[in-house]
Amino acid sequence: MATAFKVHSGVSSQAETILQHRYYLKDVNHQPIETAPELFQRVAKSIAQVDSDIYGALPVEVDLLANDFYDMMAQLEFLPNSPTLMNAGTQQGTLSACFVLPLEDSMEDIMKAASHSAMVQKFGGGTGFALSKIRPKGASIDTTHGKACGPIEVLKTLSRVSSMITQGGKRDGANMAVMSVYHPDIIEFITCKAMEGDIHNFNISVAVDSNFMKLVDTDAEYPLVAPHNNEVITWVSARHIFSLIIHNAWSNGEPGMVFLDRINSDNTVTKEFGDMIATNPCGEQPLLGNESCNLGSINLAKFYVASSSIDWREKVNWTRLTQVVNTATHFLDNVIDANKYAVLDIEEMTKSTRKIGLGIMGFADLLTQLRVPYNSKDAQVIGGSLMEYIRSAADLASLNLGGQRGPFPAWSKSSYKVHENYRNACRVTVAPTGTISMIAGCASGIEPIFALAWKKQNILEGKTLYYVNPYFEEVAKEQGFYSEELMEALSNGESLKNLNSVPQWVKEVFVTAPEISSEEHVQMQAAFQNWVDSGISKTINLSHEATMEDVYTAYISAWETGCKGITIYRSGSRNKEVLVAGHEETSVVTCNCDSPILVQESGCISCKSCGWSACEIA
């Protein structure tokens, strides 16, 4: 009997454009042959079928599960990462977004990594690499009696491979390169993207630990050690290296930093597989070599309920939120089995640890409904409380699956206690959600509102259309200060705080990313990190006027508050910059639509018009 799916209200016109451009199945003439309900049905049926094919569920049970999967997607309460939406039910392509590939110090291993990355990216995944094991430039090679090219040349080779790949014909390759701060070539790594456009398809992050940060604090020197023979090459000032990181981040947004010792404190699978030394392209998913992780995000804006209570907890539908967490955890675990893996090593490692990344989006929208400013202590408390609840519910759901299906196969090699028989080695991740948040019509990840209004030229009709944050538009009309003139001013970069016609509480509640201090950004990230067993993708957006001291404060604060990594971006620090509210297009990284509206959030460049993204993989 065919599954009878409910009819829901559907997606916005903007989301429909994105879905047509990138997600719907197409005919031989590249015309869409799906609607949004049909896309969600395709994905729901494909992922639910795993219960029958592998776990022996009855057909009626599969139908009921498919309905549950469909409902949470069609109601935009939860969406999986883009590869699952694109490829589930098609028998081609990966369903996972995040991969880390091992990179060892030999020509054979380097070329193997390049080959595997090409296969992963061809079908929609993003890859991370650690350059830390590659011998430094100029080191001797015994087998050829030559000199090593060094890790930066390896990085450039991997970048060229990525440039060859158009992922499933739908998006550009995305990568992360991580290098230990103790590597002899660390200065060249820190500065390798100083020339804009170089290694453009890689994000870069320096891997540090608490020892290095303490050395920065005391202005001490430390040794740079060749990884292939443990020879001390030279001693350098920790504060000098840190200053280089800060200067380059201020100049163009890179490198970021990852705190590896903190990451590995949550690495439960340690006895056989070693430490985690790299992350996925946007930094939120630290992984072991050859691991992959599929992501999905809950739209918190959908769980707001109107209430006269002054307690924010009375304004969240906890019952439905729990149901969605349970269903989403089941969904993501099934994706591991439904997946088509491009590389056998990745399949074996992924199925050994069965990591999933359940995250959130729409947090800023929930705050506006609660009338709580993003840059307030109350918002940090709300964020931490919500994440604690979701983490607890996801842990319980994974424990239940572990009881039914068995714990992840590498469980016996993990540090989990006998009663912690989780199905998944990790459960919670906060991804950037660049495109899926556009489909859901909500703010991305845990980011603040980027802009209240922006404009798009309709070339065919010769009109200027204004796109307005729906929650702001509703309040503006209710409070009687909405006007086309206001939308024009906001879309040109005007701040609410300069407008006398807008009530003070509205100015506070609808604060935008550029108006939030670096420390407030970091404090919000830290509030969530306490309850996330993986990482968090978040960009600390700074104004053009921000100083290197501001960047320094952000990086130090990230370490002191327990974050696992940090990325900053200072507005206007690149010539080829995404188009943001209030700025004219200069030399824009381009998509293929007629009227690109491009923004940068969480390391991703996304088009609000068509959904194109240069590096978003969730």
Give me the active site residues, please: 280, 282, 284
Q: Which stretch of DSSP H or E encloses residue 490?
A: helix 484-491
What percent of the chain is helix, strand and coil (3-state, nearest 5)? Answer: 40, 15, 40
Query: CB within 8 A of 268, min separation 6: which ones?
Result: 414, 415, 416, 425, 426
Q: Residue 606 forms beta bridges with which residues?
A: 599, 613
Structure tokens belonging to residue 348: 């074996």
Q: Own/partner pairs for 609-613, CB < 8 Å, 24+ apart?
A: 609/14, 609/17, 609/456, 610/17, 610/18, 610/21, 610/22, 611/17, 611/18, 611/19, 611/21, 611/22, 611/435, 611/438, 611/439, 612/21, 612/22, 612/171, 613/171, 613/434, 613/435
Do residues 533 and 359 make contact, with C-beta atoms less than 8 angstroms apart?
Answer: no
Those residues whose C-beta lies under 8 Å from the C-beta of residue 310, and which sit 6 or more positions away, are none
Q: Give the separation between CA 116 and CA 22, rounded to whole angstroms.
A: 24
Question: Which bin fits 170, alpha (ψ -120 to 50), beta or left (φ > 0)?
Answer: alpha
- What would the two tokens of residue 374 be? 């993003």
CB 287 within 8 A of CB 278: yes
In the beta sheet, which residues pair with residue 567?
A: 539
- What is the separation, in whole angstroms, between the first and last Cα of the chain? 33
Contact call for residues 212 and 556 (beta carbons, < 8 A): no
Residue with tokens 């292939």: 228
Based on the number of CB atoms within 10 Å of its own CB, is 162 exposed (0-12), middle (13-18) or buried (19 or more)? buried
Extract the tokens encoding 196: 């804009």
- ∠ Cα 483 489 492 (to 5°): 140
Q: By three-state DSSP, how is residue 553 classified? A: helix
Task: Give the separation between CA 31 and CA 285, rounded to whole angstroms.
Answer: 35
User: CA 498 to CA 342: how far, in whole Å?
Assistant: 53
